[in-house]
C-alpha cells in the first residue's frame, strides 16, 4: 500500500553518534542484519565501530558515509517489515540521497556501501585538511548570502552550498574565503554566521576532482529506475532514467544541495507527511520551517517507529 501524501527523507553527515540505533537493534532484527551486510562489503565491523568506537573515528568522512547509509537502510527495512506504507516520494540530504536510491530500488545496498566509502575518501582527499571550511549562516536571505560569498571570494572559492530552510544556508570553500564571507554575512545582518566542524568544503567546485574520479565507479554499477520517485538535490526534480540518475549523483558532489526546493517540490505534489529515516531529527525540524503544513516524524527508536506507523495508518 502506498500513501500519496507520505514522503521518506534520509539524513546526511552530522547525524552520526556513538551508540546510535542500540535500542532499535534489540527490537528490530533488520538492524543487525543490515549492519552485518555492510560489514561484509566494507571488510570491517561497522556495528562495533558505531557502538564501541570513538566519535572521531565515525566522523572520518569515509567512515561516516557508509555508517549513515547503513543506519538509514536498516530503519527503512524495519519500517517495511512492520507493514509500514510505501511513500509516494523519497529524498535525501547530500549523502542521504544515496540512502534514498537504495530504498527506492535504484541500486543494490552492498554496491552503495562501497561507493559511498569511496565517495567519502575522494571528497576528503580533494582538498588538504585545513585548506577548506564550511559555515552556517542563520537569518539572512539566500540572495544576500550569495552576494556576500561573491564579494568575499577574491579569486578563491566560497559559495552557498546547502539551502537548508528559509533563513538557514551553509556556505563552503577555501578557508580564508569562508572567513571573509562569515564577516560579510554578519555585516549584511545575519543573526549568526559560524564555522562548522567539517574539514572539507563539500558541494563546491573544489569537489569536482572527487566527482570526476568517482564517476567511472558509479558508471560501473547497475542502476535501475526507481520504484519510488526520488527528488534530487541538484534540481529538486525526479528522474526515472538510470543513466541520468548516475549523472546527477556525480554532479551532486560539487553542486549545492537545494533542500528547501526539494521539500517544496514534494509539498507541491501533495505530500503533507515526512518521515525522517535515520539517526537524529535534523530534516524533520527543517521541514517544519520550510512548510508549516507538513507533519514530520523520525523513526530512530522503536517507540518512534511505532508512533509513525500508527500516525500513517490512520
Catalytic residues: 94, 203
SS3 207: helix
Question: What is the rounded CA–CA span in Å between residue 96 and residue 71?
Answer: 11
SS3 101: helix
- Are 207 and 123 spatial neighbours (Cβ–Cβ below 8 Å)? yes
Question: What is the rounded CA–CA span in Å between residue 240 and residue 99?
Answer: 17
Instruction: Give the C-alpha distances (Å, rounded to integers) separating 113 from 18, 55, 145.
Output: 19, 20, 34
Indicate the pairing of strand 86-92 with strand 230-231.
parallel
Question: What is the rounded CA–CA span in Å between residue 213 and residue 202?
Answer: 15
Q: Considering just the CA atoms, what is the radius of gyration of the chain in Å?
A: 19
Among candidates 67, 97, 64, which has minimal Cα distance to 283?
Answer: 97
Question: What is the rounded CA–CA span in Å between residue 256 and residue 176?
Answer: 20
Question: What is the rounded CA–CA span in Å between residue 11 and residue 297?
Answer: 13
CB atoms within 10 A of CB 194: 12
Burial class (CB within 10 angstroms; exposed 0-12, middle 13-18, buried 19+) of 310:
exposed
Amino acid at each position: 500500500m502506498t500513501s500519496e501524501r507520505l514522503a521518506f527523507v534520509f539524513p546526511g553527515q552530522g547525524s552520526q553518534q556513538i551508540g546510535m540505533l542500540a535500542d532499535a537493534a534489540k527490537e528490530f532484527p533488520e538492524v543487525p542484519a543490515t549492519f552485518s551486510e555492510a560489514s561484509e562489503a566494507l571488510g570491517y565491523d561497522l556495528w562495533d565501530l558505531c557502538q564501541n568506537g570513538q566519535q572521531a573515528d565515525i566522523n572520518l568522512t569515509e567512515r561516516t558515509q557508509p555508517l549513515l547509509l547503513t543506519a538509514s537502510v536498516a530503519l527503512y527495512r524495519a519500517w517495511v517489515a512492520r507493514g509500514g506504507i510505501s511513500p509516494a516520494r523519497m529524498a535525501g540530504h547530500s549523502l542521504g540521497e544515496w540512502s534514498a536510491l537504495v530504498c527506492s530500488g535504484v541500486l543494490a545496498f552492498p554496491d552503495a556501501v562501497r561507493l559511498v566509502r569511496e565517495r567519502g575518501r575522494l571528497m576528503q582527499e580533494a582538498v588538504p585538511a585545513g585548506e577548506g571550511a564550511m559555515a552556517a549562516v542563520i537569518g539572512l536571505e539566500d540572495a544576500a548570502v550569495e552576494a556576500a560569498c561573491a564579494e568575499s571570494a577574491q579569486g578563491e572559492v566560497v559559495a552557498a552550498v546547502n539551502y537548508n530552510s528559509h533563513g538557514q544556508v551553509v556556505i563552503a570553500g577555501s578557508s580564508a574565503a569562508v572567513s571573509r564571507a562569515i564577516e560579510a554575512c554578519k555585516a549584511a545582518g545575519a543573526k549568526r554566521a559560524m564555522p562548522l566542524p567539517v574539514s572539507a568544503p563539500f558541494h563546491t567546485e573544489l569537489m569536482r576532482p572527487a566527482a570526476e574520479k568517482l564517476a567511472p565507479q558509479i558508471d560501473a554499477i547497475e542502476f535501475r529506475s526507481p520504484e519510488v520517485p526520488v527528488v534530487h538535490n541538484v534540481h529538486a526534480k525526479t528522474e526515472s532514467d538510470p543513466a541520468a540518475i548516475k549523472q546527477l549523483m556525480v554532479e551532486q558532489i560539487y553542486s549545492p544541495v537545494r533542500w528547501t526546493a526539494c521539500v517544496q517540490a514534494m509539498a507541491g505534489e501533495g505530500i503533507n507527511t515526512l518521515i525522517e529515516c535515520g539517526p537524529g531529527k535534523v530534516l524533520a525540524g527543517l521541514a517544519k520551517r520550510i512548510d508549516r503544513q507538513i507533519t514530520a516524524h523520525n523513526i530512530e527508536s522503536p517507540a518512534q517507529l511505532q508512533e509513525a506507523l500508527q500516525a500513517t495508518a490512520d
